[in-house]
Amino acid sequence: MRQEILIGPERRRRWSMDEKLRVLSEVSGDDAVVAEVARRHDITRQHIYQWRREAVRKGLLPVEAPRFLAIEVAPDGPHERIDPCSGPVAKAAGRLEVALRNGRIIRLGDDVDDGNLARLIRIVEAA
């Protein structure tokens, strides 16, 4: 009979909640990259996202409240644009343009409701 001895880290590791919170604290910084933290701890990115959801559900991590940015509406004019560095919103001929802090620009019709616009801004900023 042949037996094999496996060496290396155990693939089915158990993490205490304190260990999970320690890893999550590394990700909470503004310049932290989830993939780098996961690689450093030899786990997948999905573990970190799953642990974060679990910690929020248990009340161990605060829920980040949505933030709204101040906007300015530019004077009406055909195809008027505002540079993202000089002003965050331009409205031109039934269209709305929102420049986000991360440099991305959202262009859409001006008939979008506030709830959908806020949801869209959160999604684009998180991407």
How many angstroms separate the Cα of 32 from the Cα of each of 3, 29, 37, 50, 68? 43, 5, 8, 17, 23
In this predicted structure, what is the pLDDT of residue 10?
65
The identity of residue 67, as a single letter, is: R
- The alpha carbons of the chain give a radius of gyration, in whole angstroms, of 22
Domain positions in the chain are 17-57, 65-127
In this predicted structure, what is the pLDDT of residue 73?
67
pTM of the entire structure? 0.45
| pLDDT tens by residue, the chain, 127 residues | 677 776 776 667 889 999 999 999 998 877 789 999 999 999 999 999 999 999 989 989 887 777 777 777 666 555 445 444 444 444 455 677 888 877 788 888 877 888 888 888 888 877 7
